[in-house]
């Protein structure tokens, strides 16, 4: 009985703020309206900044997932002794919160030879750093689950070279893990605020930056965009669960805070 009560209160607490923002955006003077959501359709800025975020997400996912998949499998097959080092490195981003990463990157890359601040490229690279831990986890779990070594050796005994083994045997078998890592990366980029604020700001405004900006002038519209953000997160999370059929790397949200 007490257990049920605790779980009910837990659900209540987590649903309450959502009820607030839904009510705020859907009700106007006591009437139900979708006007604040419809507003986004005619908003050119919204489209542009959403496109920015989608480009960043695509870049991050492709870069992060391919880098991690390739490197992890390489270490697995050719440099097993380096596995602990890889694991440690892939874990490091946990220790470096977004503000401090931004702090270091700004000082390094705001002047030649690498004047990258304000470019989408730097943001993609920084986001890729944030994806390392769970991309590594996903690939590593996948490699462990399919017994990559045996698979790879089996393919080798049939005469397949390294690249052929990697692309035709390993990658297809890692697909569920890769998919969930990609979705995690996508959700992360679509909601990330801190690095975008410090590294590019208005030079390449992203969707989270835009909704924060809108909120100050038009709270109802800003809140509607926030609900949209929740929907993107929700859809990605459900897709991740569906793709991996288990709880994914839970740390992803850390980057959003």
Partner 1 sequence: MNTVAIRRPGMHAARRGQVMRLFGTAAGLAPFAVFVTLFLILPVAQMVAGAFASPGGGAGLDNFRRALAPQYLEAFRTSVALSVETALVGAVAGTAVAYAVAQGELRHRRTLVITFCTVTSNFAGVPLAFAFITTLGVVGWVTVAFQAVFHVSLYNDLGFTIYSYLGLVLVYTYFQLPLMVLLAVPACAALRREWQEAARNLGAGAWRFWRDIGVPVLAPPLIGATALLFANAFGAYATAYSLSSGAINLVPLRIGTLINGDVSFDAGLANALGVGMTVVIAAAILVYQAANRRARRWMR
- Residue 191 binds to partner 1 (criterion: CB under 8 A): yes
Q: Of 126-145, which residues contact partner 1 (CB under 8 A)?
A: 126, 128-129, 132
Min separation Cβ 208 and partner 1, Å:
6
Q: How many residues bind to partner 1 according to rule CB under 8 A?
A: 84
Report the site for partner 1 in 198-227 (rule: CB under 8 A): 198, 208, 211-212, 215, 222-223, 226-227
33 touches partner 1 (CB under 8 A): no
Residues 53-82 contacting partner 1, CB under 8 A? 67-68, 70-71, 74-75, 78-79, 82
Q: In terms of C-beta density within 10 A (0-12 exposed, 13-18 middle, 19 or more buried), how is residue 29 classed? A: exposed
What count of Cα atoms within 13 Å lies in the side-chain half-sphere of residue 155?
A: 18
User: Any idea which residue has 């993609």 for tokens?
Assistant: 124
For the chain, give the longest Cα–Cα distance: 72
Q: Residue 232: which of 21, 65, 57 has the closest Cα?
A: 57
What are the residues facing 32 on neighbouring strands? 27
Rg (CA), the chain: 21
| Minimum gap (Å) between residue 237 Cβ and partner 1 | 4
- 50, 57, 101, 243: which one contacts partner 1 (CB under 8 A)? 101
Site map (CB under 8 A) of partner 1, residues 232-251, x = contact: -xx-xxx-xx-----xx-xx
């Amino acid at each position: 009985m007490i257990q049920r009560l605790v779980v009910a209160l837990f659900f209540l607490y987590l649903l309450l703020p959502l009820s607030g923002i839904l009510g705020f955006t859907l009700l106007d003077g006591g009437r139900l309206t979708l006007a604040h959501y419809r507003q986004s359709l005619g908003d050119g800025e919204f489209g542009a900044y959403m496109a920015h975020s989608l480009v960043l997400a695509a870049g991050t996912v492709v870069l992060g997932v391919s880098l991690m998949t390739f490197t992890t499998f390489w270490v697995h097959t050719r440099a097993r002794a380096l596995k602990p080092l890889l694991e440690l490195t892939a874990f490091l981003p946990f220790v470096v919160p977004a503000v401090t990463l931004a702090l270091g990157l700004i000082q390094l890359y705001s002047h030649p030879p690498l004047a990258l601040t304000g470019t989408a490229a730097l943001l993609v690279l920084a986001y890729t750093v944030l994806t390392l831990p769970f991309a590594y986890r996903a690939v590593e779990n996948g490699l462990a689950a399919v017994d990559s070594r045996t698979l790879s050796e089996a393919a080798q005994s049939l005469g397949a070279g390294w690249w052929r083994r990697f692309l035709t045997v390993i990658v297809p078998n890692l697909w569920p893990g890769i998919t969930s890592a990609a979705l995690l990366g996508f959700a992360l980029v679509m909601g990330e605020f801190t690095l975008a604020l410090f590294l590019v700001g208005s030079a390449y405004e992203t969707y989270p930056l835009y909704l924060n900006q809108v909120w100050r002038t038009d709270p109802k519209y800003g809140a509607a965009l926030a609900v949209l953000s929740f929907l993107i997160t929700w859809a990605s999370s459900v897709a991740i669960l569906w793709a991996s059929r288990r709880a994914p790397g839970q740390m992803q949200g850390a980057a959003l805070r």
